[in-house]
Amino acid sequence: MKLTIHSGTNQIGGCITEIESGGYKVFIDFGEQLPGTEVKELSLIVGLTGGDISKSALFITHYHGDHIGKICDTVADLPIYVGKTALDIFKCLETRLTHIPDRKEAEKHKRIVERIETINTFEPLQKIIIGKITVTPLLVDHSAFDAYMFVIEADNKRILHTGDFRGHGFRSKGLMPTLKAYARNIDYIISEGTNIQRTNDKIKTENELQRDFISYFRKYKYNFVLASSTNIDRLFALYHAAKKTSRCFVCDSYQAKILKIVSKNHKQYTKFYDIDFNQTKSPVGRFFELKRQGQNPFSFDGKLKLYLERHGFCMLIRSNEAFKPLLEEYSKLNDTKIYYSMWDGYLDKNKPAFNEILYNFLEPYNVKNMHTSGHADSKTLKAIFETVKPKSGIIPIHTEAPEKFEELFHQQASIIFLRDGEVFDVK
């Protein structure tokens, strides 16, 4: 077995891992560089972007653009595998992006939508065999819903690729039992280290964040939350926070479509994903889908406006000018609060990922930042290394500070540093 990390040994995002055995190849993730970072030109990768792909397959850990965004750069017939609900969410997102004004960007997303139609899906723990290689997906908690680690087996060796994950989400309690049951006799862990430099930070849990929202919703009657449209657990937490405080929950049709995908596929497993979209329950805590008329801005009219102003609401928004009239109207009221529930780096002019459109959209308002990371902290990383006990080593990936692994985790296992493109013999 041979391992090559083509990209990602010293950066966050844009990671590409290749595992080869007997001529068969499994690739894990193929995404865009993060916004604001240097774009690295990749040479041809045989079995992924060119050459013979008859013995290759690409597995995607989750739908964030820095993990799946370059799937159209693969050879057209290359088999791609993604979680079922993750693919449904990704398709919904990409379909919406085909209608953006930037024609070049819209065309890119149209190509992605076409490629999506050829993608295979898998279920948790479903073994997928690519020649001499067996891949088993393990469901984990991340800010992207339906995210996975992968156990890759070949030549009597077992590798655990963590993808992106965390230990402080609503569904993180299943992480250690899953690893204990299905990640036994692991030789190497390829581990993300996004938060590796935040060694002294206490990362707030999603439960703690939800309690904070509940507290604010009790205090303020009209609540506008700008959050990622695909940060599923955050959105459902906001719905339940609104319900617990007798506020209505409002979103547009696009956001409602994504919530309905998740609810349809997962409400049978937990009430957390069960929303009454038909508005048949009690008058408080009701769900409202706000439909836009053509290109007109969003507005509350007639009986809806009276109803929402009587009971109060939590409304999901995005940095789209269509939401501006509502923000302009309600931001003048003392009973209104506007929240930003995404990474603060997008609003920091000193960060490479600074988003000017997002910054200008929020700049006129008094905004409360309420967010928590989608990635594991150092304590969680240490816990998984001690649980899995890799026999031969830990390989850092998806991190800007791989050297911190040696400082923090040298007692758990040997730390193996690779360079982008370096071929490593798995022994």
Euclidean distance between CA atoms 9 and 191, whole angstroms: 10
Strands 16-21 and 2-7: antiparallel
Q: What is the pLDDT of residue 283?
A: 58
Q: What is the pLDDT of residue 280?
A: 55
Write the DSSP string, 286-346.
-EEEE---TTPPP---HHHHHHHHHH-EEEEE-S-GGGHHHHHHHTTSTTEEEEEES-GGG
Q: Which amino acid is at 181?
A: A
Q: Which amino acid is at 69?
A: G
Euclidean distance between CA atoms 313 and 191, whole angstroms: 41
Euclidean distance between CA atoms 396 and 419, whole angstroms: 10
Element (H, E) at 260: helix 253-266
The tens place of each residue's pLDDT in the chain, 427 residues long, gives 999 999 999 999 999 999 999 999 999 999 998 877 777 778 899 999 999 999 999 999 999 999 999 999 999 999 999 999 999 999 999 999 999 888 999 999 999 999 999 999 999 999 999 999 999 999 999 999 999 999 999 999 999 999 999 999 999 999 999 999 999 999 999 999 999 998 777 899 999 999 999 999 999 999 999 999 999 999 999 999 999 999 999 999 999 999 999 999 999 999 999 998 876 555 556 899 998 877 789 999 889 999 999 999 999 999 999 999 999 999 999 999 999 999 999 999 998 889 999 999 999 999 999 999 999 999 999 999 999 999 999 999 999 999 999 999 999 999 999 999 999 999 9
Q: What is the pLDDT of residue 281?
A: 56
Given CA atoms 255, 61, 184, 189 in this order, what sign does their dihedral have? negative
Closest listed residue to residue 157, CA positions, set 424, 373, 419: 424
Euclidean distance between CA atoms 300 and 282, whole angstroms: 20
Domains of the chain, first to last: 2-198+374-425 (3.60.15.10), 206-369 (3.40.50.10710)
